Structure 1
Amino acid sequence: EKKLVVTGRSNGASGAAFADYIMKTVQDPNLKRRWQDYRK
């Protein structure tokens, strides 16, 4: 999954946006299923 790209440029995600994405992902109740689907 590639939702955000931190590039250091104006067209990339900010550090805050990336941190928010990470926190939402870690707190996702379906994280285990998402990880298992990703590994396939």
Structure 2
Amino acid sequence: MNTLRLLGWAAALAALGGVFMLYLQPEFMVGLANQVWACF
């Protein structure tokens, strides 16, 4: 059970790290802002 919980935490941290790395790319942020703005 502890191994499964550890793998879950590792997967969650890896996903959060990947999202954080995307936010460091300016072109990604501009594209995301354009998509959000297009909803209005």
Into which bin does the TM-score normalised by the smaller protein fall?
0.3 to 0.5
- Which structure carries more relative contact order (alpha carbon 8 Å, separation 6+)? 1
Larger radius of gyration: 2
Of Structure 1 and Structure 2, the greater helix share is in 2
- Normalising by structure 2, we get a TM-score of 0.39
